[in-house]
Chains A and B, each alone.
Chain A
Amino acid sequence: MQEFIQTIVNGLQTGSLYALIALGYTMVYGILKLLNFAHGDVYMVGAYIGYFVIHWFGGPTALSIPVPLLILIMFALASTGCGLLGVAMERFAYRPLRDAPRIAPLITALGISFVLENTVLLLFGGFTRSYQTESFISATSGIHLGGVTINIVEIMVIVVSVAMMFGLRQIVHRTTLGKSMRAVASDREAAEMLGINVNRTIALTFFIGSAMAGVAGVMSGLAFDQITNTIGFLAGLKAFTAAVVGGIGSIAGAMIGGIVIGLAEAFSLSYISTKYADLIVFGILIVTMLVRPQGIFGRPLLQKV
Protein backbone atom coordinates (compact mmCIF):
# COMPACT_ATOMS: atom_id res chain seq x y z
CA MET A 1 0.00 0.00 0.00
CA GLN A 2 2.84 2.34 0.95
CA GLU A 3 4.48 1.73 -2.41
CA PHE A 4 1.20 2.31 -4.24
CA ILE A 5 0.60 5.65 -2.52
CA GLN A 6 4.18 6.74 -3.12
CA THR A 7 3.80 5.84 -6.79
CA ILE A 8 0.60 7.85 -7.09
CA VAL A 9 2.28 10.85 -5.44
CA ASN A 10 5.31 10.56 -7.73
CA GLY A 11 3.06 10.23 -10.77
CA LEU A 12 0.88 13.21 -9.86
CA GLN A 13 3.87 15.37 -9.10
CA THR A 14 5.72 14.56 -12.32
CA GLY A 15 2.50 14.57 -14.30
CA SER A 16 1.64 18.05 -13.04
CA LEU A 17 4.98 19.35 -14.28
CA TYR A 18 4.58 17.59 -17.63
CA ALA A 19 1.11 19.11 -17.88
CA LEU A 20 2.41 22.64 -17.25
CA ILE A 21 5.02 22.22 -19.98
CA ALA A 22 2.52 20.49 -22.28
CA LEU A 23 0.22 23.53 -22.01
CA GLY A 24 2.92 25.64 -23.65
CA TYR A 25 3.25 23.13 -26.49
CA THR A 26 -0.47 22.93 -26.99
CA MET A 27 -1.12 26.71 -26.84
CA VAL A 28 1.56 27.44 -29.43
CA TYR A 29 0.41 24.58 -31.62
CA GLY A 30 -3.19 25.71 -31.31
CA ILE A 31 -2.42 29.22 -32.45
CA LEU A 32 0.44 28.73 -34.91
CA LYS A 33 0.36 25.01 -35.76
CA LEU A 34 4.00 25.02 -34.66
CA LEU A 35 5.66 22.34 -32.55
CA ASN A 36 7.95 24.49 -30.42
CA PHE A 37 10.63 21.97 -29.51
CA ALA A 38 12.59 24.68 -27.69
CA HIS A 39 9.87 24.78 -25.03
CA GLY A 40 11.56 22.12 -22.85
CA ASP A 41 14.64 24.31 -22.73
CA VAL A 42 12.59 27.29 -21.55
CA TYR A 43 11.65 25.06 -18.60
CA MET A 44 15.37 24.42 -18.04
CA VAL A 45 16.06 28.18 -18.05
CA GLY A 46 13.32 28.61 -15.43
CA ALA A 47 15.04 26.03 -13.24
CA TYR A 48 18.32 27.97 -13.50
CA ILE A 49 16.63 31.28 -12.67
CA GLY A 50 15.21 29.67 -9.53
CA TYR A 51 18.65 28.34 -8.61
CA PHE A 52 20.26 31.75 -8.91
CA VAL A 53 17.48 33.40 -6.90
CA ILE A 54 18.27 31.02 -4.02
CA HIS A 55 21.92 32.03 -4.16
CA TRP A 56 21.03 35.69 -4.58
CA PHE A 57 19.36 35.52 -1.18
CA GLY A 58 22.28 33.90 0.62
CA GLY A 59 22.18 30.30 -0.61
CA PRO A 60 20.20 27.30 0.60
CA THR A 61 21.83 27.11 4.03
CA ALA A 62 21.83 30.83 4.84
CA LEU A 63 18.70 32.34 3.36
CA SER A 64 18.21 36.00 4.17
CA ILE A 65 14.44 36.01 3.58
CA PRO A 66 11.56 33.72 4.66
CA VAL A 67 11.09 30.62 2.50
CA PRO A 68 7.54 31.47 1.27
CA LEU A 69 8.76 34.87 0.08
CA LEU A 70 11.75 33.24 -1.58
CA ILE A 71 9.50 30.84 -3.47
CA LEU A 72 7.22 33.68 -4.57
CA ILE A 73 10.22 35.63 -5.88
CA MET A 74 11.51 32.50 -7.66
CA PHE A 75 8.15 32.02 -9.35
CA ALA A 76 7.86 35.70 -10.25
CA LEU A 77 11.34 36.01 -11.75
CA ALA A 78 11.28 32.64 -13.51
CA SER A 79 7.86 33.26 -15.05
CA THR A 80 8.78 36.80 -16.13
CA GLY A 81 12.21 35.78 -17.43
CA CYS A 82 10.92 32.76 -19.29
CA GLY A 83 7.89 34.65 -20.56
CA LEU A 84 10.14 37.31 -22.06
CA LEU A 85 12.39 34.61 -23.48
CA GLY A 86 9.35 33.06 -25.16
CA VAL A 87 8.32 36.43 -26.59
CA ALA A 88 11.85 37.00 -27.90
CA MET A 89 11.89 33.55 -29.52
CA GLU A 90 8.59 34.27 -31.21
CA ARG A 91 9.60 37.75 -32.36
CA PHE A 92 13.05 36.97 -33.72
CA ALA A 93 12.88 33.31 -34.73
CA TYR A 94 9.31 32.29 -35.51
CA ARG A 95 7.58 35.46 -36.71
CA PRO A 96 9.84 35.88 -39.76
CA LEU A 97 8.96 32.29 -40.71
CA ARG A 98 5.23 32.53 -40.11
CA ASP A 99 4.37 32.14 -43.77
CA ALA A 100 7.25 29.79 -44.60
CA PRO A 101 6.71 26.06 -45.15
CA ARG A 102 5.99 24.33 -41.83
CA ILE A 103 9.30 22.49 -41.80
CA ALA A 104 11.22 25.80 -41.49
CA PRO A 105 9.95 26.90 -38.05
CA LEU A 106 10.14 23.28 -36.87
CA ILE A 107 13.83 23.09 -37.70
CA THR A 108 14.28 26.57 -36.22
CA ALA A 109 12.68 25.35 -32.99
CA LEU A 110 15.16 22.49 -32.78
CA GLY A 111 17.96 24.97 -33.44
CA ILE A 112 16.79 27.29 -30.67
CA SER A 113 16.66 24.31 -28.34
CA PHE A 114 20.35 23.64 -28.96
CA VAL A 115 21.19 27.33 -28.70
CA LEU A 116 19.52 27.57 -25.27
CA GLU A 117 21.13 24.37 -23.98
CA ASN A 118 24.58 25.40 -25.10
CA THR A 119 24.23 29.01 -24.00
CA VAL A 120 23.50 27.80 -20.48
CA LEU A 121 26.42 25.38 -20.77
CA LEU A 122 28.77 28.18 -21.78
CA LEU A 123 27.49 30.66 -19.21
CA PHE A 124 27.13 28.40 -16.20
CA GLY A 125 29.05 25.21 -17.04
CA GLY A 126 27.84 21.65 -17.23
CA PHE A 127 27.86 20.98 -13.51
CA THR A 128 24.89 19.33 -11.92
CA ARG A 129 23.65 22.10 -9.68
CA SER A 130 21.64 21.33 -6.58
CA TYR A 131 18.84 23.44 -5.09
CA GLN A 132 19.58 21.68 -1.75
CA THR A 133 15.89 22.03 -1.01
CA GLU A 134 16.24 19.90 2.14
CA SER A 135 18.34 22.69 3.64
CA PHE A 136 15.36 25.05 3.81
CA ILE A 137 12.27 22.84 3.41
CA SER A 138 12.08 19.65 5.45
CA ALA A 139 11.68 16.52 3.34
CA THR A 140 9.75 14.80 6.11
CA SER A 141 7.17 17.44 6.99
CA GLY A 142 3.82 17.40 5.23
CA ILE A 143 0.84 15.07 5.10
CA HIS A 144 1.36 11.55 6.43
CA LEU A 145 -0.75 9.04 4.54
CA GLY A 146 -0.51 5.26 4.75
CA GLY A 147 3.10 5.35 5.93
CA VAL A 148 4.09 7.81 3.22
CA THR A 149 4.98 11.45 3.75
CA ILE A 150 3.65 13.70 1.05
CA ASN A 151 6.01 16.57 1.71
CA ILE A 152 5.36 20.27 1.35
CA VAL A 153 7.13 20.54 -1.98
CA GLU A 154 5.12 17.69 -3.49
CA ILE A 155 1.89 19.27 -2.27
CA MET A 156 2.98 22.65 -3.62
CA VAL A 157 3.85 21.23 -7.05
CA ILE A 158 0.46 19.59 -7.42
CA VAL A 159 -1.57 22.51 -6.00
CA VAL A 160 0.28 25.24 -7.94
CA SER A 161 0.08 23.26 -11.17
CA VAL A 162 -3.66 22.66 -10.84
CA ALA A 163 -4.22 26.32 -9.93
CA MET A 164 -2.23 27.50 -12.95
CA MET A 165 -4.06 25.13 -15.28
CA PHE A 166 -7.38 26.34 -13.93
CA GLY A 167 -6.23 29.96 -14.25
CA LEU A 168 -5.20 29.41 -17.85
CA ARG A 169 -8.55 27.86 -18.63
CA GLN A 170 -10.27 30.92 -17.18
CA ILE A 171 -8.07 33.24 -19.24
CA VAL A 172 -8.81 31.35 -22.44
CA HIS A 173 -12.55 31.06 -21.89
CA ARG A 174 -13.47 34.18 -19.94
CA THR A 175 -11.24 37.06 -21.03
CA THR A 176 -10.88 39.23 -24.12
CA LEU A 177 -7.35 37.94 -24.58
CA GLY A 178 -8.67 34.38 -24.48
CA LYS A 179 -11.27 35.24 -27.10
CA SER A 180 -8.54 36.74 -29.27
CA MET A 181 -6.42 33.62 -28.82
CA ARG A 182 -9.29 31.37 -29.81
CA ALA A 183 -10.09 33.58 -32.79
CA VAL A 184 -6.49 33.58 -34.03
CA ALA A 185 -6.29 29.82 -33.53
CA SER A 186 -9.48 29.37 -35.52
CA ASP A 187 -8.65 31.64 -38.47
CA ARG A 188 -5.76 34.06 -38.30
CA GLU A 189 -6.73 36.12 -41.35
CA ALA A 190 -10.36 36.46 -40.32
CA ALA A 191 -9.28 37.48 -36.82
CA GLU A 192 -7.02 40.16 -38.28
CA MET A 193 -9.87 41.49 -40.45
CA LEU A 194 -12.02 41.72 -37.33
CA GLY A 195 -9.46 44.03 -35.74
CA ILE A 196 -7.64 41.57 -33.50
CA ASN A 197 -3.95 42.37 -33.10
CA VAL A 198 -2.64 38.99 -34.20
CA ASN A 199 1.04 39.67 -33.46
CA ARG A 200 0.22 40.83 -29.94
CA THR A 201 -2.03 37.84 -29.33
CA ILE A 202 0.60 35.37 -30.50
CA ALA A 203 3.30 37.10 -28.45
CA LEU A 204 1.10 36.94 -25.34
CA THR A 205 0.42 33.26 -26.00
CA PHE A 206 4.17 32.62 -26.04
CA PHE A 207 4.56 34.71 -22.89
CA ILE A 208 1.93 32.75 -20.96
CA GLY A 209 3.13 29.33 -22.15
CA SER A 210 6.77 30.13 -21.42
CA ALA A 211 5.95 31.67 -18.04
CA MET A 212 4.23 28.44 -17.02
CA ALA A 213 7.27 26.46 -18.17
CA GLY A 214 9.44 28.76 -16.05
CA VAL A 215 7.35 28.07 -12.95
CA ALA A 216 7.49 24.33 -13.78
CA GLY A 217 11.29 24.62 -13.95
CA VAL A 218 11.48 26.18 -10.49
CA MET A 219 9.17 23.53 -9.05
CA SER A 220 11.24 20.83 -10.72
CA GLY A 221 14.37 22.18 -9.04
CA LEU A 222 12.63 22.32 -5.67
CA ALA A 223 11.18 18.83 -6.04
CA PHE A 224 14.02 16.95 -7.72
CA ASP A 225 16.95 18.98 -6.45
CA GLN A 226 19.28 18.54 -9.42
CA ILE A 227 19.42 20.71 -12.50
CA THR A 228 21.68 20.66 -15.55
CA ASN A 229 21.50 22.32 -18.93
CA THR A 230 20.09 19.11 -20.42
CA ILE A 231 17.04 18.57 -18.19
CA GLY A 232 14.74 20.25 -20.70
CA PHE A 233 15.29 17.72 -23.45
CA LEU A 234 13.66 14.65 -21.93
CA ALA A 235 11.08 16.67 -19.98
CA GLY A 236 10.17 18.49 -23.19
CA LEU A 237 9.78 15.25 -25.11
CA LYS A 238 7.56 13.78 -22.42
CA ALA A 239 5.48 16.93 -22.22
CA PHE A 240 5.11 16.83 -26.00
CA THR A 241 3.96 13.21 -25.64
CA ALA A 242 1.47 14.38 -23.01
CA ALA A 243 0.16 17.09 -25.34
CA VAL A 244 -0.28 14.60 -28.19
CA VAL A 245 -1.90 11.98 -25.97
CA GLY A 246 -4.30 14.57 -24.56
CA GLY A 247 -4.98 16.02 -27.99
CA ILE A 248 -2.59 18.70 -29.18
CA GLY A 249 -4.28 22.07 -29.30
CA SER A 250 -6.59 21.17 -26.40
CA ILE A 251 -5.88 22.75 -23.02
CA ALA A 252 -7.86 20.14 -21.11
CA GLY A 253 -6.07 17.50 -23.17
CA ALA A 254 -2.63 18.81 -22.16
CA MET A 255 -3.62 18.68 -18.49
CA ILE A 256 -5.02 15.16 -18.66
CA GLY A 257 -2.24 13.99 -20.97
CA GLY A 258 0.39 15.24 -18.52
CA ILE A 259 -1.18 13.39 -15.62
CA VAL A 260 -1.59 10.22 -17.72
CA ILE A 261 2.06 10.28 -18.79
CA GLY A 262 3.27 11.08 -15.27
CA LEU A 263 1.28 8.22 -13.75
CA ALA A 264 2.28 5.81 -16.54
CA GLU A 265 5.92 6.65 -15.97
CA ALA A 266 5.67 6.29 -12.19
CA PHE A 267 3.85 2.95 -12.35
CA SER A 268 6.29 1.63 -14.97
CA LEU A 269 9.21 2.62 -12.76
CA SER A 270 7.71 1.08 -9.64
CA TYR A 271 5.99 -2.04 -10.94
CA ILE A 272 7.74 -2.97 -14.18
CA SER A 273 11.33 -1.77 -14.42
CA THR A 274 13.30 1.46 -14.23
CA LYS A 275 14.89 0.40 -17.51
CA TYR A 276 11.66 0.29 -19.50
CA ALA A 277 9.84 3.39 -18.25
CA ASP A 278 10.83 5.53 -21.22
CA LEU A 279 9.95 2.71 -23.58
CA ILE A 280 6.49 2.52 -22.07
CA VAL A 281 5.90 6.27 -22.09
CA PHE A 282 6.90 6.67 -25.73
CA GLY A 283 5.05 3.44 -26.53
CA ILE A 284 1.90 5.20 -25.32
CA LEU A 285 2.64 7.96 -27.84
CA ILE A 286 2.92 5.45 -30.69
CA VAL A 287 -0.24 3.60 -29.67
CA THR A 288 -2.12 6.92 -29.42
CA MET A 289 -0.97 7.92 -32.90
CA LEU A 290 -2.14 4.58 -34.27
CA VAL A 291 -5.44 4.25 -32.44
CA ARG A 292 -6.60 7.83 -31.86
CA PRO A 293 -4.32 10.26 -33.68
CA GLN A 294 -6.30 13.27 -32.49
CA GLY A 295 -5.64 12.33 -28.84
CA ILE A 296 -8.09 12.03 -25.96
CA PHE A 297 -9.64 15.49 -26.28
CA GLY A 298 -8.64 16.38 -29.83
CA ARG A 299 -11.11 16.66 -32.65
CA PRO A 300 -10.60 14.69 -35.87
CA LEU A 301 -9.15 16.87 -38.60
CA LEU A 302 -11.65 17.38 -41.42
CA GLN A 303 -10.25 18.29 -44.79
CA LYS A 304 -12.27 19.81 -47.60
CA VAL A 305 -11.73 18.18 -50.94
Chain B
Amino acid sequence: MSKLSNQAYEEMSKKASPPSRSGRNIPLAFLIGGAICTLGEAFINLYMYLGVPEKDAFSLCSVTLVFLAILFTGFNLYDDVARYGGAGTLVPITGFANAVASPALEFKSEGYIMGLGAKMFVIAGPVLVYGLSAGIIYGLILYLFKLY
Protein backbone atom coordinates (compact mmCIF):
# COMPACT_ATOMS: atom_id res chain seq x y z
CA MET B 1 0.00 0.00 0.00
CA SER B 2 2.96 2.28 0.48
CA LYS B 3 3.55 2.02 -3.24
CA LEU B 4 0.23 3.77 -3.89
CA SER B 5 0.85 7.38 -4.86
CA ASN B 6 -1.29 10.14 -3.42
CA GLN B 7 -2.59 10.89 -6.87
CA ALA B 8 -3.61 7.30 -7.49
CA TYR B 9 -5.35 7.23 -4.14
CA GLU B 10 -7.18 10.46 -4.97
CA GLU B 11 -8.49 8.71 -8.07
CA MET B 12 -9.60 5.72 -6.02
CA SER B 13 -11.45 7.89 -3.54
CA LYS B 14 -13.17 9.90 -6.25
CA LYS B 15 -14.49 6.67 -7.71
CA ALA B 16 -15.70 5.43 -4.35
CA SER B 17 -17.37 8.70 -3.37
CA PRO B 18 -20.93 9.26 -4.53
CA PRO B 19 -21.27 12.55 -6.42
CA SER B 20 -23.62 15.34 -5.43
CA ARG B 21 -27.12 14.65 -6.66
CA SER B 22 -27.24 17.47 -9.15
CA GLY B 23 -30.34 16.06 -10.78
CA ARG B 24 -32.11 16.86 -7.55
CA ASN B 25 -30.08 19.82 -6.33
CA ILE B 26 -30.23 22.09 -9.36
CA PRO B 27 -34.01 21.96 -9.94
CA LEU B 28 -34.59 22.50 -6.20
CA ALA B 29 -32.21 25.47 -6.16
CA PHE B 30 -34.05 26.90 -9.16
CA LEU B 31 -37.47 26.44 -7.58
CA ILE B 32 -36.70 27.65 -4.08
CA GLY B 33 -34.43 30.47 -5.27
CA GLY B 34 -37.05 31.53 -7.76
CA ALA B 35 -39.71 31.48 -5.06
CA ILE B 36 -37.68 33.69 -2.74
CA CYS B 37 -37.03 36.15 -5.58
CA THR B 38 -40.72 36.18 -6.45
CA LEU B 39 -41.50 36.94 -2.83
CA GLY B 40 -39.02 39.80 -3.08
CA GLU B 41 -40.78 41.05 -6.19
CA ALA B 42 -44.08 40.95 -4.30
CA PHE B 43 -42.62 43.05 -1.51
CA ILE B 44 -41.19 45.58 -3.99
CA ASN B 45 -44.61 45.96 -5.57
CA LEU B 46 -46.28 46.20 -2.18
CA TYR B 47 -44.03 48.99 -1.02
CA MET B 48 -44.40 50.92 -4.28
CA TYR B 49 -48.17 50.53 -3.98
CA LEU B 50 -47.89 52.01 -0.48
CA GLY B 51 -46.21 55.06 -2.01
CA VAL B 52 -42.56 54.29 -1.38
CA PRO B 53 -40.29 55.58 -4.20
CA GLU B 54 -38.90 52.79 -6.38
CA LYS B 55 -35.30 52.98 -5.20
CA ASP B 56 -36.31 52.79 -1.54
CA ALA B 57 -38.71 49.98 -2.31
CA PHE B 58 -35.80 47.81 -3.47
CA SER B 59 -33.90 48.60 -0.30
CA LEU B 60 -36.92 47.94 1.88
CA CYS B 61 -37.40 44.62 0.12
CA SER B 62 -33.88 43.62 1.14
CA VAL B 63 -34.58 44.62 4.71
CA THR B 64 -37.80 42.62 4.72
CA LEU B 65 -36.21 39.47 3.33
CA VAL B 66 -33.36 39.82 5.82
CA PHE B 67 -35.91 40.10 8.62
CA LEU B 68 -37.81 37.02 7.47
CA ALA B 69 -34.68 34.93 6.98
CA ILE B 70 -33.48 35.82 10.48
CA LEU B 71 -36.90 35.11 11.96
CA PHE B 72 -36.85 31.67 10.34
CA THR B 73 -33.34 31.16 11.65
CA GLY B 74 -34.47 32.03 15.16
CA PHE B 75 -37.35 29.59 14.97
CA ASN B 76 -34.95 26.81 13.88
CA LEU B 77 -36.72 26.56 10.52
CA TYR B 78 -34.24 28.13 8.11
CA ASP B 79 -31.85 25.18 8.07
CA ASP B 80 -34.72 22.82 7.27
CA VAL B 81 -35.55 24.83 4.15
CA ALA B 82 -31.91 25.36 3.23
CA ARG B 83 -31.20 21.61 3.33
CA TYR B 84 -33.28 21.30 0.20
CA GLY B 85 -32.81 24.79 -1.17
CA GLY B 86 -29.03 24.64 -1.42
CA ALA B 87 -27.98 27.59 -3.56
CA GLY B 88 -31.64 28.59 -3.71
CA THR B 89 -31.46 29.82 -0.12
CA LEU B 90 -27.73 30.66 -0.15
CA VAL B 91 -27.53 33.01 -3.14
CA PRO B 92 -30.47 35.33 -2.32
CA ILE B 93 -29.86 37.87 0.41
CA THR B 94 -31.51 35.37 2.79
CA GLY B 95 -28.27 33.39 2.75
CA PHE B 96 -26.35 36.42 3.95
CA ALA B 97 -28.88 37.10 6.68
CA ASN B 98 -28.82 33.52 7.93
CA ALA B 99 -25.03 33.55 7.87
CA VAL B 100 -25.10 36.56 10.19
CA ALA B 101 -27.83 35.40 12.54
CA SER B 102 -26.76 31.78 12.99
CA PRO B 103 -23.30 32.37 14.50
CA ALA B 104 -24.65 35.22 16.63
CA LEU B 105 -27.24 32.79 17.99
CA GLU B 106 -24.81 29.92 18.37
CA PHE B 107 -21.96 31.74 20.05
CA LYS B 108 -24.10 33.63 22.55
CA SER B 109 -22.99 30.96 25.02
CA GLU B 110 -19.54 32.53 24.89
CA GLY B 111 -20.95 35.87 25.98
CA TYR B 112 -22.66 38.87 24.36
CA ILE B 113 -19.45 40.70 23.50
CA MET B 114 -16.86 38.06 22.60
CA GLY B 115 -19.38 35.46 21.51
CA LEU B 116 -22.45 36.99 19.90
CA GLY B 117 -20.83 40.29 19.00
CA ALA B 118 -17.43 39.15 17.78
CA LYS B 119 -18.51 36.03 15.92
CA MET B 120 -21.51 37.51 14.11
CA PHE B 121 -19.54 37.95 10.89
CA VAL B 122 -17.46 34.79 11.05
CA ILE B 123 -19.24 33.37 7.98
CA ALA B 124 -20.59 36.44 6.14
CA GLY B 125 -17.64 38.74 6.73
CA PRO B 126 -15.93 37.94 3.44
CA VAL B 127 -19.00 39.13 1.50
CA LEU B 128 -18.61 42.59 3.01
CA VAL B 129 -14.84 42.67 2.83
CA TYR B 130 -14.61 41.70 -0.82
CA GLY B 131 -17.84 43.28 -1.98
CA LEU B 132 -17.01 46.66 -0.48
CA SER B 133 -13.37 46.44 -1.53
CA ALA B 134 -14.41 45.71 -5.10
CA GLY B 135 -16.68 48.74 -4.93
CA ILE B 136 -13.92 50.97 -3.59
CA ILE B 137 -11.52 49.85 -6.30
CA TYR B 138 -14.23 50.63 -8.85
CA GLY B 139 -14.70 54.04 -7.24
CA LEU B 140 -11.00 54.79 -7.40
CA ILE B 141 -10.88 53.81 -11.06
CA LEU B 142 -13.89 56.02 -11.74
CA TYR B 143 -12.31 58.98 -10.00
CA LEU B 144 -8.76 58.61 -11.27
CA PHE B 145 -9.78 58.09 -14.89
CA LYS B 146 -12.62 60.62 -14.66
CA LEU B 147 -15.09 58.04 -15.91
CA TYR B 148 -18.02 59.51 -14.05
- A, B: real partners: no
